[in-house]
Amino acid sequence: MKFKNTFLWLSVLLLVVSCKTNPFTGESNLNFVSNDQLFPASFEQYNQFLDEADVVRGTEEARMVQNLGQDIVNAAERYLNANGYQGFMNDFRWEFNLVQDDQANAFAMPGGKVVIYTGILDEAQNKNGLATVMAHEIAHALADHGAQRMSAAQLQQLGAVAGAVAVSGESQSTQQIFAQAYGLGTTVGVMLPFSRSHEAEADRIGLTLMAIAGYDPREAPELWQRMQANSSGQAPPEFLSTHPSTQSRINNLTQWAPEAIEEARKYGVTSFK
C-alpha cells in the first residue's frame, strides 16, 4: 500500500506540473523550472564557455552565423505574434557565436544562447544547410527543452527516492535489483525517448522557422544525407540514443518540408534564398 500511495502521489504531481504550453505544438509539456530560475544560470555558463573557447569574430562566416540566426529569430517572432504569443521572447537574450572546433556540431542553451562549431560548416555547405542547423537549435531554446529535461530528471530522481523508501524493508538484494531495474527502465523507457522526441520536435519546428525566414526546408534532408555519408557508421541503436537515427531524421524532414512551405506561404514567403 505504501508503494502504491507513493507512486499515486507522483502521478498526481506529474499532472499538476505538466502545465506549460508549447506555442508551436499547442501541447502541455512537463516544465516546472521558470525562466527566472534558468536563464541567469544559462547566461553565466554561456559566458564562461565563450571565455574558454576559440570564438571566431569578424569573419564572413561569423557574420553569416549571426545574420542567419537573427533572420530565424525574426521569423519566430512573426510566428509567435501571429499565433497569440506576443512577448513570448521578452526574456530571451539571443546570441550566436561561431567557435573554432572540428566537431560537426552545434548547441543552444536556455534563453537563446547558440554556438555553432566551425566543423559543421563543411557539412552545411550553404546558407540553407546552416539554416537547418541553426533553426533546430533555436527551436530547442524556444520550446523550453532544457527546462523540460531538467524537470524530467528531477522527477526521475524523486521516483528513485520514493522507490527506495518503498522497498527499504526488503532484502539488500531486492533493493539492488529495484535500483538497477528502475535506473535502466526509466533511462531506456522514459528519458531517452523523451530526448529523442525533443530532437524530432526541434527538427519540425526548425523547418517551419527556416521556411518563414526564407530558407528552403527541402534542403534540410540533404544536410543529414551528407552527415550520414561522412559518419563512421558507429552510432548506437536508436532506442539507446538521445537522438533519432540519421535515417529517421532524413525521412521525417522529407515528410515535413512541404508542411513548412505551406506554413511559410501564410507569411507571404513564395520563394527561398
Q: Which residues are catalytic?
A: 137
Q: Rounded to whole angstroms, how far apart are CA atoms 221 and 42?
A: 31
Buried b (16+ CB within 10 A) or exposed e, 62-84: bebbbebbebbbebbbbbbeeee
213 secondary structure, DSSP code: T
Mapping DSSP to helix (H, G, I), strand (E, B) and coil, where does residue 101 land?
coil
Distances in Å between the alpha carbon of 47 and those of 36, 113, 154, 180? 18, 9, 25, 38
Mapping DSSP to helix (H, G, I), strand (E, B) and coil, where does residue 157 land?
helix
* Cα 23 from chain centre: 14
Amino acid (1-letter code) at residue 264: A
First to last CA, the chain: 63
Q: Rounded to whole angstroms, how far apart are CA atoms 33 and 11?
A: 18
- Residue pair 98/28 in contact (Cβ under 8 Å)? The answer is no
Residue 223 is placed in which grid cell? 544536410
- Residue pair 272/250 in contact (Cβ under 8 Å)? The answer is no
Q: Count CA within 13 A, CB hemisphere, residue 262.
A: 5
